[in-house]
Amino acid sequence: MQTGAVVGIQDMGAAGLTCSTCEMGSRAGTGVEIDLQYVPQRETGMTPYEIMLSESQERMLLVAERGREDEVFRVFHKWGLDAATVGHVTADGSLRVKDHGQVVAEIPNRALADEAPVYDRPHTKPQRLAPLEPSPGLLNRPVAVKSDLIALLSSGDLCSKRWIWEQYDYLVRSSTQAGPGSDAAIVRIKETGKSIAMSLDGNGRYCALDPREGTKLIVAECCRNLSTAGALPVAATNNLNFGNPERPEIMAQLVESIEGMSEACQFFETPITGGNVSLYNETLGEAIFPTPVMGIVGLMKTALPTPIAFSQPDRTVILLGDFGNCDELHFGGTQYAKVILKALWGLPPALDMDYEKRVQQAIREIVTAGLAESAHDLSDGGLAVALAEASFGPAAIGARISIPAGVRPEFLLFHEGPSRILLSASQPDEVMKIAAKFKVEAGQIGVTMKERLRIDCGSETLLDCDLTELRQPWETSLERMLHQS
């Protein structure tokens, strides 16, 4: 790129050479002519059809200025990479494919890139296997906060994934500022003063209960993760995993999910730049949960990242957002319902996108102003799990928290309502001012302290334990489960 000789470039993803040629030509308003005899091939005897659709990795298509091709080739040769001239740009707007000089395909670029058909397969209502109401008596069990929290922290979805990610190089040389275990990964772009934050999120349980609302929640959480790091969400990609779309009830899941994604991405101003789709995911006719996965990137000024973990004792713990108004209907998709009650029912948490955006604006301003010593969004596992995760830092700082009386403690501690962020601060009044500016609730719910996590509800203590009692099962469960399997 530094040679200035490259005027166009695109990677080869889905459909390989077919997509990269027609899309580049369509965007430029030009034609492209290639001859397949010059395309590097790993196999002998490949047909033109196979060459054009091959999805071999680590390939890119470049258009260089005429007469400056050698400058580009010298760079490839320097790094020991293969490169070949396979064709040239034309003025007729068509993609023309030759094989040893014989035309084997010819079609206007726009017909492939800009005028693709929109499928409207028959669809009914989304498949729903879970009941709307919980089983009678399911929620009558006594709540044992300590044992329930340990069970959640030990579960496959919520336990530490360090055992996996510590086996890989995630530092990207010296550019990674926040890596695995953070709400969002942050990579600085050297010499620009800016960093890119990245977050991935998905939740098949929510989408099984309501594909549209579940997908909107995924987009919101992904953006919230970025905002909690201080980054402004700017663009998104997706990975859509569904069953057989030839079944109208499964196609309905896909339609609802995509429409929910469209609505949320437009609202949070994160246009979809690309993505991929995996369909027909079924075993013996039983489909997987509809599972869209969102990847969203954000931009921020390069600065020391705000950690998830509490770092100092005697700091005010603030819940940005509120405790949430949870009920039985919106509790059935939580990790608590899955792990403790072993059930799925009801609807996903209710999302107010306008309120969500204001919470995100508030936390970005709080973090940018340096007022948050720690910040962590509430998602799977709710408040109790977020408190535990915030207590698992190297300083072993926990907290003493008070929650309101008069509401079922499992709803307050384990429900997964959106638009909530847990933070610690030495200047709580300044945090409260910013929250008020954006008309967002902010409650001072406790104080950090060394080595313990305590949760009180009125005059009753629901949890009071040493952090090692929680951290040890959280850190060791994944490796133990994998070895057992």
The tens digit of pLDDT for each residue in 252-295 reads 999 999 999 999 999 999 999 988 899 999 999 899 999 999 99
**Above 70 in pLDDT, residue 309?**
yes
The answer on 83 and 163 residing in a single domain is no
**Do 198 and 288 share a domain, yes or no?**
yes
132 lies in a domain? no
d(CA 369, CA 264): 27
- Do 185 and 298 lie in one domain? The reply is yes
Residues 397, 315 share a domain = yes
51-74 burial, b at 16+ Cβ within 10 Å, e below that, comes to bbebeeeebebbbbeeeeeeebee
Q: What is the pTM of this model?
A: 0.86
pLDDT in tens, 430-440: 999 999 999 99
Residue 361: its pLDDT value, please? 98
Share of the chain above pLDDT 70, in %: 99
The token pair that represents 256 in the structure block: 């609802």
Rounded mean pLDDT, 339-359: 97
Nearest to 432 by CA among 419, 445, 449: 445
| Burial group, residue 475, by CB count within 10 angstroms (0-12, 13-18, 19+) | middle
Residue 445 CA, distance from chain mean position = 28
- pLDDT of residue 116 exceeding 80: no
Q: pLDDT tens for residues 386-431?
A: 999 999 999 999 999 999 988 899 999 999 999 999 999 999 999 9
Beta bridge partners of 106: 96
Q: Write down the pLDDT at residue 484.
A: 81
Please compute the mean of the pLDDT values over residues 106-126 and round it to a whole number: 87
Query: What tokens were used for 149?
Result: 């929290």
Give me the chain's average pLDDT, please.
Answer: 94
Q: Is residue 177 situated within a structural domain?
A: yes
Residues 103 and 158 both lie in one domain: no
Read off the pLDDT of each residue in 54-71 and give the average, rounded to a whole number: 93
**Do 71 and 164 sit in the same domain of this protein?**
no
Residues 208 and 108 in one domain: no
| Residue 1 within any structural domain of the chain | no
293 and 427 in a single domain? The answer is yes
What is the predicted pLDDT for the residue at 169? 80
Question: 436 lies in a domain?
Answer: yes
pLDDT of residue 403: 94
Per-residue confidence (pLDDT) for residue 328, from 0 to 100: 94
When pLDDT is averaged across residues 194-217 and rounded to a whole number, the result is 97
Q: Is the pLDDT of residue 168 over 90?
A: no
Cβ(453)–Cβ(403) under 8 Å? no
Overall average pLDDT of the 459-481 stretch = 95
Which residue is listed with tokens 């209907």?
329
For the chain, the domain total comes to 2
Q: Which of 115-119, 308-312, 347-351 has the lowest mean pLDDT?
A: 115-119
Q: Is there a single domain that holds both residue 152 and residue 108? A: no
> 117 pLDDT exceeds 90?
no
CATH (domain of 201) = 3.30.1330.10
Question: What's the pLDDT band for 172 if we cut at 50, 70, 90?
Answer: low
Question: Is residue 127 a part of any domain in this protein?
Answer: no
Does residue 153 sit in the same domain as residue 71?
A: no
Indicate if the pLDDT at residue 224 is higher than 70.
yes
- Asked if 63 and 6 count as a contact pair (C-beta separation under 8 A), the reply is yes
| CATH, residue 105 | 3.90.650.10
- Domain of residue 243 covers 138-484
Distance, CA of 288 to CA of 103 (rounded, Å): 44
